């Protein structure tokens, strides 16, 4: 997104031209406000505008003055755009937003040129600090899996888990159970489960809402809220917000919603997108012998409906972000279940600067302690052109497939950018994560709970089903659920919760290096999500205790250190275990490995050691004792990207 003092990206030419226009009669000599028109498209109409008036101005204090201000801007814009003069729209004040901005509407929809002229005219008033159109955002449009859904054997407890949820596994190349795909793209959720289950943490999912399903925890359904304020979008008879985060359907089939159907947004039945996303982050009941598993499966998931028919407006989404984190929104009861992590599997066109309302909302949520996780988008383009993905303060997530490659549809970082923080499994759709071919099921998709209804939901249990989707929408809840596990582990250890900045840092520092080197023109941040490593690092963070717990068979990747540094890892080995292997590999630099049973090892006190050149070190113990083995990694030189793995054959 762009402001009046900084022009960036593909918008430079058009915004620069806007600044060079002569001032109109009654305008200030120069455009004094930040404004953003990057989301405007010539295929859409616009009748809602977000205006932030300066503190101390009459407009900030009075809704009447704000409406008069916008009406005067329409008149000024008419001098630049003849259609605004010939058919001048009326202006109405709607409400104060949680970000401190105001929402005003026009009596008719404006085309792209008219909307841009009005935004610039509003921005010219010295009382205005920021203005942008209130545009529609959408659930990130996913690729559905084949309709056929086959039952699997009961393994390990949730009966579809073993066959379908490849994305939860270690990501160490072990072939998948169905098509025997070498799985390098999974997120090691199983490693995170060894330390936490989400207890004590609330996740907010801002999406289409949630439906009742026998395998989904909807206990906070009534505690959620429907923030959609436009009756056309909500499907209700009046323009209001109502209690409850229930998905009433989002279909765009039929004549009623023909106005929002185009080549980019074809007519579709209800997606139940919010249920799929909420289930992945933690709402799917786990270890109950039914269906799928959720990631932070003992967290509470708060559904917030912000997307309905045709999408959802920025003004409603931004209010919901603040509310979900525990902030106040006029006209809505305060949230009794503040979230520590918020999932936004939604977006649309436009760039996002710190002055934008979406960024202000995210900053408010961050200040309240909530990490905001956002889908990078499924346009296969530079993420800078997607919002809220490009907003400062967001943890933005790209999608990878089973090979560890960036998926063909995922947005990405161009050279020099760091907007995308990391990637997580979203489903590559086709074999070898290619851009075309025959869809590969189940490994090409992420699988969770859905509903059979094509418009309104079919009541549970008759409407209960499961399905696969592929997209950054699915990658995002993997990170959201992992953040909940991280915070839950902190609570379980009696430690203070991590700040959003600390959460992002740990996610990135523990990210796994992809098996397939990324295209340097299309990168995705620190690497692949490693939930097990992230949760272990979260528990160790700030405690002054350098010991990091290893999980049997789970790789802890992304480790780094300086020459002369020592890091201690530990692995509890049960009685009767065989073939204990402790090793380091990968990355750059040179380390040595020292191992001791029962207490921390060092270069002068150890039971076993491995001191080869480089990072490939290994200690093998055929019949280990039933104790905790300590693994000390010493940096002989600076090193980075190191993987640490402890494994043994468990007793039967």
Any idea which residues carry the catalytic annotation? 207, 273, 473
CB 327 within 8 A of CB 339: no
Tokens of 643: 């993987």
Q: Distance between CA 324 and CA 476 in Å, rounded?
A: 17
Three-state DSSP state, 313:
strand
Residue 153 tokens read as 């054997």
Contact 269, 251 (CB under 8 A): yes
Residue 81 has, within 13 A of its CA and on its CB side, a CA count of 22
CB of 460 closer than 8 Å to CB of 414: no
Instruction: Give the span between the Cα atoms of 539 and 556, in whole angstroms.
Output: 14
Residue with tokens 């491995």: 610
Q: For tokens 């970082």, name the residue.
A: 413
Q: Which residues contact 361 (CB under 8 A, 6 or more apart)?
A: 98, 99, 317, 318, 319, 321, 322
Q: Peptide bond before 72: cis, by omega within 30 degrees of 0?
A: no
SS3 state of residue 58: helix
Contact in structure between 566 and 634 (CB atoms under 8 Å): yes
Look-up of token digits 């020099």? 416
Distance CA 498, CA 395 (A): 14
Give the torsion sign (CA, 550, 556, 558, 563).
positive
């Amino acid at each position: 997104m762009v402001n009046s003092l900084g022009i960036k990206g593909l918008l430079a030419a058009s915004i620069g031209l806007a600044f060079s226009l002569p001032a109109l009669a009654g305008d200030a000599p120069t455009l004094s406000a930040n404004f953003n028109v990057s989301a405007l498209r010539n295929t859409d109409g616009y009748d809602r505008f977000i205006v932030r008036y300066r503190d101390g101005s009459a407009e900030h204090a009075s809704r009447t003055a704000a409406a008069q201000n916008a009406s005067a801007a329409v008149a000024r814009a008419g001098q630049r755009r003849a259609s605004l003069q010939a058919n001048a729209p009326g202006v109405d004040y709607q409400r104060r937003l949680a970000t401190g901005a105001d929402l005003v509407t026009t009596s008719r929809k404006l085309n792209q040129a008219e909307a841009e002229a009005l935004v610039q005219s509003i921005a010219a008033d010295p009382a205005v600090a920021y203005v942008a159109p209130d545009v529609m955002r959408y659930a990130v449009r996913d690729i559905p899996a084949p309709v056929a859904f086959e039952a699997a054997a009961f393994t390990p407890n949730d009966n579809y888990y073993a066959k379908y949820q490849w994305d939860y596994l270690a990501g160490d190349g072990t072939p998948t159970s169905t098509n025997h795909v070498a799985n390098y793209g999974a997120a090691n959720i199983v490693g995170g489960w060894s330390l936490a289950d989400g207890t004590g943490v609330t996740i907010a999912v801002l999406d289409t809402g949630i439906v009742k399903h026998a395998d989904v925890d909807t206990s906070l359904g009534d505690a959620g809220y429907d923030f959609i304020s436009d009756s056309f979008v909500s499907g209700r008879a009046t323009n209001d917000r109502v209690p409850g985060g229930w998905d009433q359907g989002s279909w765009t089939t039929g004549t009623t919603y023909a106005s929002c159907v185009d080549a980019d947004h074809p007519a579709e039945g209800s997606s139940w997108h919010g249920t799929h996303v909420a289930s992945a982050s933690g709402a799917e009941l786990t270890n109950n012998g039914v269906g799928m598993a959720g990631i932070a499966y003992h967290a509470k998931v708060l559904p917030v409906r912000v997307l309905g028919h045709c999408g959802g407006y920025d003004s409603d989404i931004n209010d919901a972000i603040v509310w979900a984190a525990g902030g106040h929104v006029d006209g809505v009861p305060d949230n009794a279940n503040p979230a520590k992590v918020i999932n936004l599997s939604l977006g649309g066109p436009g760039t996002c600067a710190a002055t934008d309302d979406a960024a202000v909302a995210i900053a408010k949520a961050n200040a309240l302690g909530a990490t905001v996780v956002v889908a990078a988008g499924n346009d296969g383009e530079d993420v800078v052109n997607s919002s809220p993905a490009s907003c400062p303060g967001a943890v933005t997530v790209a999608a990878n497939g089973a090979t560890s490659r960036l998926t063909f549809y995922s947005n990405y970082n161009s050279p020099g950018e760091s907007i995308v923080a990391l990637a997580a499994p979203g489903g590559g759709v086709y074999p070898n994560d290619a851009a075309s071919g025959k869809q590969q099921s189940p490994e090409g998709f992420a699988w969770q709970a859905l509903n059979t209804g094509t418009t309104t939901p079919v009541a549970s249990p008759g409407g209960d089903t499961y399905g696969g989707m592929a997209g950054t929408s699915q990658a995002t809840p993997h990170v959201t659920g992992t953040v909940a596990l991280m915070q839950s582990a902190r609570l379980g250890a009696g430690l203070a919760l991590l700040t959003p900045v600390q959460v992002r840092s740990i996610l990135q520092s523990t990210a796994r290096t992809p098996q397939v080197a990324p295209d340097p023109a299309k990168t995705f941040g620190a690497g692949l999500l490693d939930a097990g490593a992230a949760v272990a690092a979260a528990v160790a963070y700030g405690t002054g205790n350098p010991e990091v717990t290893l999980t049997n068979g789970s790789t802890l990747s992304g480790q780094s250190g300086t020459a002369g540094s020592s890091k201690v890892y530990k692995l509890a080995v049960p009685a009767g275990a065989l073939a204990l292997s402790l090793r380091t590999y990968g990355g750059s630099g040179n380390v040595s490995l020292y191992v001791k049973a029962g207490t921390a090892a060092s270069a002068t006190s150890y039971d076993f050691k491995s001191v080869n050149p480089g990072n490939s070190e290994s200690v093998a113990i055929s019949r280990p004792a039933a104790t905790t083995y300590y693994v000390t990694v010493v940096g002989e030189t600076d090193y980075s990207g190191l993987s640490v793995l402890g494994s043994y054959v468990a007793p039967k």
